[in-house]
Amino acid sequence: MIHRPTRALRLARLLPAVALLPLLAACAGQGSIRTAAPEAPVTVGIVAINDFHGALEPPRTAVLVPDGQGNARPVPAGGAAFLASAVDSVRAKYSNHVTVAAGDLTGASQIASSLFLDEPAVGVLNRIGLDFNAVGNHEFDQGADELLRKQNGGCAQHSARKPCQIEPFAGAKFRYLSASTYRADGSTLFPGTALRSFGKGRRKVQVGFIGLTLKGTPDLVTPEGIRGLTFGDEAEAINAAVPRLRKAGADAVVVMIHQGGYTSGSPDPGGCENLTGEILPILNRLDSGVDVVVSGHTHWSYVCDYGKIDPARPILLTSAGVYGQLLTDITLEIDPRAGKVVARRARNVVVQSDPYVSPRGPVNEATDLPRFAARADVAAYVGKYAQAAKAYSLRPVGKLSGPAVRAPSGGIANQGGSLGNLIADAQLAASAGAGAQIAFMNPFGIRTPLNPAADGTLTFGDIYACQPFNNTLVTQTMTGAELKAVLEQGFDDSGPVQVLSPSAGFSFRFDRSRAVGSRVVAMMLNGQPIDPAANYRVTTNSFLANGGDSFSLFTRQRDAVTGISDLEALEAWLKAVPPRQVPGEERTGAAS
């Protein structure tokens, strides 16, 4: 009996041969079988800035860059119209791009922006196309209500200066982010995070953004302006946000934080030698899911592979200096299938602008670096506000014997220098009617040097750029012991060293090798040691008097008298003796 295979068995025997037919056809004429190439990553470009400070016009403070021979050379940089062109140039490299900032875009601004409550700074950033900004401490200079107006627009008045002087104000088109700034009910002042998608279908990727300011903001702004707000731990806020962003589909996480660091070695906007500063303890605690940290606050520039410091956290850390003189070009390569960053890199781009002549000589174009043309629409917009400010800015206020400068920032160099002494002298003279014997100026309150014209003339614009905060003078009574205690706060290891600049006749010496609280070793007034039990009348600006820059002991304000503004005091001092001599004596210093 012949057994015929069943239909099922015939199909089973036939299947291997049938399955091979498409493969054989596909291989016809080929020497070997090819496998599909791995899918290329999706590239996302990020343009980052920080600490713009309303620098509408070129600040005329050069950027130092390596000259290729081991030295540094000054390069003219900055100005909103040039920054706009530089941003456009970098964005043109990427089909997928986003523009972000790490805070202090407003506050401590040029006169053409500050006189108009930084409305033109917001207008410039709208025109540049900023997407997200982390709230910095200077965003609170006029208080939280005014900051909310900057986001939402309108002409409600929240400060002494009138809003909408030139035109109606529509508010920021970009989104402020504040993941660690909380209202009394626990909600954040602004959203803490944001998501941005790029591409479609299988090639779609998402980048999550976290924005936040530094925990120490209450020490840096007027308390009344932030009443009801608390500023939480930065790392805790970031680590809480990362898993939420990942769950929402983020393939990459970028943090913009208004805190930063310093580097040492020869000036190099893209260097990262000996990174120090308050950003480090934050990075040390971050979730490993963070890919990039865009930082600010210190006005320093760097590009750092933090993975070389902590291999468990291969974070790319960047900062673009100050005043829009640099921008950071960040490239992320994202694997859409794996949902993760496979490569990251960054470089700082000098926003080279027009050459100029500084008090130290010409600052010429660097022919080996890109030169950016001023973008016409931004230049016209800036020109409108600069012209409106001219009546204020060009008015002569007095003469000075030469340049007055503060010491360079960083470490023990946080001193006011000859400029701090000059300002303290002006404030002492202005508060003589309140019985002032001593005046102090905080070094961080000095924004730019005073560089007079060839004949010594200074304008209101010059002194406004130096002290743009509209502080008033406060004179109070302090004992010699209280005076020592408040000076000790500049050396207490809880923040950067700050050596207050004293007025003429007062001097003090310090020894940082001693224990905290005993580092001020000598104080003299008019040649006599300060008596711990005696009373003295002491003048500061209102920022210090309210505990700013961590000098909390000034807040006692015993028998306080409020005087004129700091700018009025400086102008009166300059006018009284033309030309006013720049103080040359050393009033503070390390004990020998």
Domain locations along the chain: 42-381, 397-590
Which H or E run includes 228?
none
Which residue ranges of the chain lie beneath pLDDT 70? Answer: 1-38, 408-413
> For residue 361, what pLDDT is reported?
86
Which residues, 6+ apart, have CB-to-CB distance to 2 below 8 Å? none
**What pLDDT was estimated at residue 266?**
74
CATH classification number, 42-381, choose in 3.40.50.720, 1.10.540.10, 3.60.21.10, 3.40.50.2300: 3.60.21.10
Using CB atoms within 10 Å of the CB of residue 123, give its burial: 0 to 12 exposed, 13 to 18 middle, 19+ buried: buried
Gap between the Cα atoms of 261 and 265, Å rounded? 14
Do the two domains 42-381 and 397-590 of this chain adopt the same fold? no
Q: Identify residue 119 by its one-letter amino acid code.
A: E
Contacts of 456 (CB under 8 A, 6+ apart): 399, 400, 401, 402, 578, 579
pLDDT at 4: 43
Beta strand pairing status for 472-479 and 457-459? unpaired
Bridge partners, 193 (sequence order): 210
pLDDT in tens, 60-111: 888 999 988 888 899 999 999 999 999 999 999 999 999 999 999 999 899 9
pLDDT at residue 22 in the model: 39
Closest CA to 382 of 185, 51, 125: 125
3-state SS string for 39-94: CCCEEEEEEEECCCCCCCCCCCCCEEEECCCCCEEEECECCHHHHHHHHHHHHCCC
CATH topology of domain 397-590: 5'-nucleotidase;  domain 2 (3.90.780)
DSSP string, 449-460: -B---TT-EEEH
| Residue (of 422, 424, 425, 448) closest to 359 by Cα position | 448
Rounded to whole angstroms, the Cα distance separating 89 from 364 reads 22
Beta bridge partners of 331: 45, 345
User: What are the pLDDT digits (tens) for 215-266?
Assistant: 999 888 888 899 999 999 999 999 999 999 999 999 999 999 999 999 987 7
